[in-house]
């Protein structure tokens, strides 16, 4: 039985916002743009809270890395039922270059510090679509991983995880402690209730610096350029099937 | 999954609040932002997909409202010890405004239900509070507010429904008109005459459905507010325990008016939500619809019109929120401000929704498009909970008394 669950929650640009690339092509516009919790992280929080409600875990700790604003995201997790939060302070250039490698190092260090026996993350973030943090965290801790989970069940000191893979569904059994990443169909996240939002105010968020965890934030990646996807080109009308085949051959498609 | 569904619908009102679109003039606390978020999400996922069906089939969406109640929307400003959420009037306004973007008619009913729950919580004995409030806050039971009669609308204090004391019961005789929820709801907060003429002869009693002598008229056919039934409520020798009275004898009119102060902010908030949703619908339509070789959004006239609509919406919102603050702080100008907010916001927002419909051209007149439902649903906000003419009476009286 896992005593403490760490759930990573990422603050991302809201899914419904129309993304605009900055004029200098160094990134996307984030100032004044609506942000919310990454949808897969919401699913991760929901799963952790359900495990607690089933009394399979004792404490759910929500973690987010970033500047002051990520506290909003942690508060949303608290309002959904997480017990306390950890804000890992990262800002400025460090935040701009923060990626799965750095976050997984942070999560691994926190897991050891907090003596967590289960980490639940979203399978990927909708801004960078990396789909790496869960896997890297497991590797750093040398823990088993159950990624793309559409179902999680506790069986003694093991976890049964049903994974969504290209071929269908794969069922695995992994030992605890473990890392699980949530896929879309794992659950439907609850709405925070008004009383829980009020209760969340009283829940604690502790601040931690990456240096305190012995983590080096240096990025091995450098973003060279960000561009919008090419505009959709107009199509061409053809008269006959022969024309169509000819055009497709010309375009190197067949 | 709620966000995946919204992705497909692609038109969540809360998402358009980036700077430059509709400035929300926010200085909301973190909690208020969370309340607003939950309300917007609930509106987009649980209400907006059904609002047309509820309107066209006249469905009272009991299950959806109970879901809302589970989140704490059943007794938003009722005290927590009897199941309420214990929030402020400003919190409430923010919540109703957001919910209203999903379905204005249903949100308006939820606000009336909240008003009744508050009246019982505030003026009822502990026994009454404990008997009714928990079920009302969870929406296990629904409530109706019964003041208006066929012969007394604006002149509410001239109401005739009598309540004669017989032993330990009041026996009620008379009828109420235009009661929202009437016939489908369980708990009726009824203003009736226990004493002499005028406001001081009026008391307030709680009547439960199923009480012998309580019956209902036919369901009215309305232009809007079709997701809530409206019926006459009829009392024929209907005996109600004296212990069901809220406050003291003769306090009923006062209780009714205190309920309405909050009710007016709530209704105005519902109008704000409808106008907000309509401005976004209009904006989206004119960005897509082309005539004379370009999108309608290139027309300076329409740009200016949209700007005016957004400006008046923000102005209305500020007045409504100020009134909410004044009421929760119990300031002397609260009653006037609530009347001003109701008057201004309901008029402006109807005009905004109506113009949004106009911007849709012929499509605006089709029931396939949501804008016409917002127009129909908020038209009545200028009439009920005190007509906008009565609002002027209240404000003028206040101004002239000071001089």
Mean pLDDT by 10 residues, chain A (254 residues): 88 91 93 92 98 96 97 95 97 94 98 97 96 98 98 94 97 97 97 94 96 94 92 87 92 88
Predicted local distance difference test score (pLDDT) of residue B4: 39
Predicted local distance difference test score (pLDDT) of residue A2: 60
The CATH number of residue A223's host domain is 3.40.50.620
Q: Residue B26: pLDDT band by 50, 70, 90 thresholds? A: low
Predicted local distance difference test score (pLDDT) of residue B21: 45
- Do the Cβ atoms of B148 and B256 come closer than 8 Å? no
CA B251, distance to chain mean position in Å, is 24
Tokens of B158: 């001239």
The stretch B227-242 carries a mean pLDDT of 98
Instruction: Look over chain B and give the mean of its residue pLDDT values, rounded to a whole number.
Output: 93
Rounded to 5°, the CA angle A188-A80-B114 comes to 95
The stretch B220-231 carries a mean pLDDT of 98
- Do the Cβ atoms of B216 and B234 come closer than 8 Å? yes
List, in sequence order, the alpha helices (H) in chain A: 39-53, 70-80, 92-96, 100-114, 133-141, 194-200, 241-250
- B103-139 exposure pattern, b = at least 16 Cβ within 10 A, e = fewer: bbbbbbbbbbbbbbbbbbbbbbeeebbebbbbbbbeb
Task: Determine, for residues A72 and B15 on separate chains, whether the beta-carbon distance falls below 8 Å.
Answer: no
Range of the domain at A161: 4-251
pLDDT tens digit sequence for A184-199: 999 999 999 999 999 9
Q: In whole angstroms, give the CA distance from residue A200 to residue A232.
A: 46
Q: Which of B7, B14, B35 sits opposite A194 (nearest CB)?
A: B35
Predicted local distance difference test score (pLDDT) of residue B316: 97
* ipTM of the complex model: 0.86
- What are the catalytic residues of B? 385
Task: Determine, for residues A16 and B12 on separate chains, whether the beta-carbon distance falls below 8 Å.
Answer: yes
Q: In whole angstroms, give the CA distance from residue A53 to residue A46.
A: 10
| Listed residue (B269, B274, B258, B264) closest to B342, CA to CA | B264
Q: In whole angstroms, give the CA distance from residue B155 to residue B386.
A: 10
Determine if the pTM surpasses 0.95: no
Give residue for tokens 């990456």.
A210
Q: In whole angstroms, give the CA distance from residue A197 to residue A202.
A: 10
B94 has a pLDDT exceeding 70: yes
CA distance A215 to chain B (A): 31
pLDDT tens digit sequence for B345-358: 999 999 999 999 99
Predicted local distance difference test score (pLDDT) of residue B11: 46
Chain A from 173 to 232: CB within 8 A of any B CB: 184, 188-189, 191-195, 197-198, 200-201
User: Residue A10 in 3-state DSSP?
Assistant: coil
Eight-state DSSP code of residue A232:
P
- Give the sign of the dihedral formed by CA B346, CA B348, CA B353, CA B357: positive
B289 CB burial (10 A radius; 0-12, 13-18, 19+): middle
Predicted local distance difference test score (pLDDT) of residue A127: 94
B3 has a pLDDT exceeding 80: no
| Listed residue (A70, A65, A69, A109) closest to A90, CA to CA | A65
- Do the Cβ atoms of A217 and A94 come closer than 8 Å? yes
Predicted local distance difference test score (pLDDT) of residue B18: 36
Total tally of structural domains belonging to chain A: 1
In chain B, residues with a C-beta closer than 8 Å to the C-beta of A30 are: none
CA distance B33 to chain A (A): 9
């Amino acid at each position: 039985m896992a005593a403490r669950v760490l759930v990573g929650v990422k603050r991302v640009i809201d899914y419904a916002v129309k993304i605009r690339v900055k004029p200098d092509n160094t990134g996307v516009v984030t100032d004044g743009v609506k942000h919310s919790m990454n949808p897969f992280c919401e699913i991760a929080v929901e799963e952790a809270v359900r495990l607690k409600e089933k009394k399979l875990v004792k404490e759910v700790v929500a973690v987010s890395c970033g500047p002051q604003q990520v506290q909003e995201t942690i508060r949303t997790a608290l309002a959904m039922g997480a017990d306390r939060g950890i804000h890992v302070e990262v800002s400025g250039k460090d935040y701009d270059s923060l990626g799965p490698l750095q976050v997984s190092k942070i999560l691994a260090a926190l897991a050891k510090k907090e003596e967590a026996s289960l980490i639940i993350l979203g399978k990927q973030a909708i801004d960078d679509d990396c789909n790496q943090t869960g896997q890297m965290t497991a590797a750093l801790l040398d823990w088993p991983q159950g990624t793309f989970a559409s179902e999680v069940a506790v069986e003694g000191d093991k976890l049964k995880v049903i994974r969504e893979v290209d071929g269908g569904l794969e069922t695995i059994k992994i030992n605890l402690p473990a890392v699980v990443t949530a896929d879309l169909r794992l659950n439907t996240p609850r709405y925070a209730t008004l009383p829980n939002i009020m209760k969340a105010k009283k829940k604690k968020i502790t601040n931690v610096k990456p240096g305190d965890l012995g983590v080096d934030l240096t990025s091995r990646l450098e973003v060279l350029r960000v561009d919008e996807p090419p505009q959709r080109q107009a199509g061409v009308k053809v008269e006959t099937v022969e024309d169509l085949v000819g055009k497709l051959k010309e375009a190197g498609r067949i | 999954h709620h966000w995946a569904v919204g992705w497909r619908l692609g038109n969540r009102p809360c998402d358009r609040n980036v700077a430059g679109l509709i400035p929300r003039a926010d200085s909301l606390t973190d909690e208020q932002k969370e309340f607003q978020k939950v309300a917007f999400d609930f509106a987009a996922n649980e209400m907006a997909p059904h609002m047309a069906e509820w309107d066209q089939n006249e469905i009272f969406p009991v299950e959806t409202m109970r879901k809302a109640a589970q989140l704490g929307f059943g007794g938003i400003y009722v005290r927590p010890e009897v199941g309420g959420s214990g929030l402020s009037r400003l919190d409430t306004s923010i919540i109703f405004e957001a919910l209203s973007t999903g379905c204005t008619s249903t949100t308006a009913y939820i606000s009336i239900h909240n008003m009744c729950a508050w009246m019982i919580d505030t003026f009822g004995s502990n026994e009454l509070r404990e008997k009714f409030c928990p079920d009302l806050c969870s929406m296990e039971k629904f409530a109706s507010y019964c003041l208006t009669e066929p012969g007394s609308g604006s002149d509410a204090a001239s109401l005739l429904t009598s309540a004669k004391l017989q032993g330990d019961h009041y026996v009620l005789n008379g009828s109420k008109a235009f009661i929202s929820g009437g016939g489908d709801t369980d708990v009726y907060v009824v203003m009736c005459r226990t004493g002499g003429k005028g406001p001081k002869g009026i008391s307030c009693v709680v009547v439960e459905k199923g009480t012998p002598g309580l019956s209902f008229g036919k369901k009215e056919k309305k232009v809007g507010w079709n997701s809530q039934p409206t019926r006459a409520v009829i009392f024929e020798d209907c005996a109600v325990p004296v212990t069901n009275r809220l406050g003291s004898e003769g306090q009923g009119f006062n209780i009714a008016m205190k309920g309405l102060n909050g009710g007016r902010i709530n209704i105005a908030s519902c109008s704000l939500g409808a106008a907000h949703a309509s401005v976004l619908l209009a904006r989206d339509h004119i960005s897509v619809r082309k005539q004379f070789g370009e999108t309608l959004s290139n027309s300076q006239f329409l740009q200016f019109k949209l700007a005016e609509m957004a400006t008046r919406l923000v102005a209305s919102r500020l007045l409504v929120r100020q009134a909410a603050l004044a009421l929760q702080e119990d300031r002397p100008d609260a009653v006037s401000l609530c009347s001003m907010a109701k008057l201004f916001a309901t008029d402006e927002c109807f005009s905004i929704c109506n113009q949004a419909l106009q911007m849709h051209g012929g499509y605006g007149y089709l029931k396939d498009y949501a804008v016409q439902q917002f127009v129909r649903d908020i038209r009545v906000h200028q009439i009920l909970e005190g007509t906008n003419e009565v609002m002027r009476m209240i404000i003028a009286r206040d101004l002239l008394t000071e001089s």
